[in-house]
Structure 1
Amino acid sequence: MEATKSLKRERYLFWILVGGLLFLRFPWIILGKALAPAYGAGIVVVFEVGTYLLTALLVFLERKRLAEYHIDSLALVLLLGAPVVILIGSKTGGYALPGQGIKALFASVLLIALLIWRPVLPKRGAAQTAIYLGAAVLIGGALAIVSGFLLSFQVQKPLDLSRFPSAGRLLYEALYQLDYAAAAEEPLFRGFLWGGLRRCGWKDHWIWLFQALLFAVGHVYYVGVYNISAFLVVPLAALVLGLAAWKTRSIGTSMIVHGITNGFGNALVYLFCGLLR
């Protein structure tokens, strides 16, 4: 009986934390951008730091059931490492949002907590992990090309091709997007929400479609400004990212796809604008 009550409390806490993530992703970001555009940078910083904190709490709370949320060793390494890597990069000439040190601190605390209270992770060999990494890089590269091509059609003024980033800058941009976008969105849409809905009886294919719709709605602030992003790029990316996490049972895969797509796709806009105009 006591174990059942404890499990119910954990379930309530789980949905409270997921609700916090949804609040930050929807009313906070969407209404913040619409009602207080002058404070856009501050709104994003609160979103990034708050989202990482709630994600860390969920990882620790569900540490014995992480496989249910597509979190394996690869995903955990990326979630813990990305904030620290970008913090180091920002100290050596790279860029990062304010609050990066706080995210890195949360990552360090979570790492210590998981070393003390060991998580249960799905067992995957090095060969399978290597296959996932390779597939993620290929899918991310392909999606970056498609998104870069589509995004080039919403550019209204000529771009200076001399500003096309160097190889080092491209790599850093992908790492930055891994921390900025992927670590903020993949654990929610393709991780905890997916696992929570499956536990409620939803089938994977319905969750796949629902998370894509929800992800698209979460970018509604693009409508009227960047319509190609809103109606083509974001929904397509949501379906691909969901499929990657679903079929590999790892948001580590979808995080890499996400980081490469955002990081390389933005740069490829310059290339396609130069070729098409």
Structure 2
Amino acid sequence: MALFNRTKREINAKIVYFGPSFAGKTTSLQFIHRKLKPDHRGAIKTMGGQKDRMLFFDFMPPELGEVNGFRVRFHLYTVQGEVTSPSTWKTVLKGADGVVFVADASGERVSAAGENLQRLREYLQSYGQEFQDVPIVLQCSKSDLPGALTPEEMAKHLDAAGMAAVRASAKTGEGVLQALSSVVKQVLKRLREQEPEEETLDGQEDAGTVAPSVSLDQTEEQEGAVPAVSADTLASPVAGAIAAPVGTVGEPDLAIAGPAEMTPDGRCCVPLAIRCGERERRYVLTVFLTAEDHHDN
């Protein structure tokens, strides 16, 4: 769920690129980042150990204007490569405002897409989010390969007839911005219908900045519609920042802000986020691990 930062007058919305391993999630985020102007985005960052590494960045294109008096900053997340622990995806999906489901449309891996879509349903439900209530766009990756299914065929195969589906190729960039544009518009529409509660901070934390090399339809620049992201927002590469989810109001709330990392010298570094009302501080808990001596009695 989106985080309303009253101090900065910002809404932080989280979009997760989810799907089977090696379907094009990481490549998609890298392509988007390359198309953004440095002054509208942050740096691409990674977090995690040798396995299950999160990739993320954020952007705030000025052309989107304001939502109920708040500027909107989008945070894009994904997990690179083969994910070994379901808890990694659960952590990344917590507080998601929208999802781009990246599926390999080439014939051989269509079944993997179905399995992962079911996992997505389960992960969202574990956080009390109904699958049908979350803006989700189907990005049919590798559509440029011979024998690839069309977006319509993919949607039918996945039993996702009502889901927006886009033909894409993360390698060439075809459809990647279109998929992002589609989910951004859906998220903005929901935010415009949502009234921020008094002193409420729900969802994810603040982060870096990035802007999509996306063009939201020019024809929708009317009152209440989603403004277009102009060509001025697009550019060359740079990177973005992001943050982890959580948030309650009132008493201080302590949460783990990401996966722990082990250093070669035996330290365990755990990122933490402490929130109280609209204030948040980030810390890193560092623990030195040593083997316990065992003595025979």
For the criterion TM > 0.5, the same-fold answer is no
- Structure with the larger RCO, 1 or 2 (CA within 8 Å, 6+ apart): 1
Relative to the length of structure 2, the TM-score reads: 0.27
Relative to the length of structure 1, the TM-score reads: 0.29
